[in-house]
Amino acid sequence: MDITDRPTSPSECQPIISNSVLRVNNAAKKIATATDLVDLAKQIQSCEQFVNANASSRLHLIVDQMQYLKKQAESILLDMKRDLDLHQLPCNFVKKPGNTYHVYEKPNGIRYFGFLSPEDWGSRCPDQFIHSYTLLPDMTWLDADHVNDRANTDVIVKKLMCASNFLSLDDGVQNKS
């Protein structure tokens, strides 16, 4: 029987093995109609679109995180430069963490640290006031305008560090076994 031969009974709808080659005759029952194949193609296309949209969404999230981390890195580098510049300013006293110091500029452009604030000087301030900074325990400088924000954050951090208040990572996770 050749592959183009049509069987006359269902028993003839069997694969034919000849010369170690498997051949199926044309009368074998059809698995799908032409419209089924179109539906299958549409389903595959729909799945591809869903998988692509899912991957795209996840990649967008990663890109957003990368951009956020880049901004964080830039901010850290700017803070580092500012801190190094401030540590280089002339100062006639020993700087101690926790104290606020004030940057002034002389008429010749030289900047220096002063212990007295513009309010302490009143109208007798000899040089132009630039800005105030608080020296932190890690020897970095905090803009004096942000000291209250930092204090509020420190309170939250201390609460989180208390063992009785710290939430376990397992809280809220149910066993699935």
Q: What is the mean pLDDT of each run of 10 residues along the chain (177 residues)?
A: 50 53 56 72 86 94 98 97 97 95 97 96 93 96 87 80 62 51
Is residue 134 in some structural domain? Answer: yes
CB 133 within 8 A of CB 141: yes
Domain residues for the domain of 133 are 90-167
SS3 165: coil
Is residue 127 in some structural domain? Answer: yes
Is residue 58 in some structural domain? Answer: no
Count how many domains the chain has.
1
Q: Is the pTM of this model over 0.75?
A: no
Query: Mean pLDDT across the chain, nearest whole number?
Result: 82
Q: Which pLDDT score, from 0 to 100, does residue 1 have?
A: 45
SS3 62: helix
Is residue 128 in some structural domain? Answer: yes
Is residue 19 in some structural domain? Answer: no
**Residue found under tokens 């220096």:** 112
Is residue 66 in some structural domain? Answer: no
Give the phi and the psi of residue 4 in degrees, each rounded to 5. -90, -10
Is residue 154 in some structural domain? Answer: yes
How far apart CA 18 and CA 92 sit, in angstroms, is 103
pLDDT by residue (tens digit) across 127-154?
Answer: 999 999 999 999 999 999 888 787 788 7
Is residue 24 in some structural domain? Answer: no
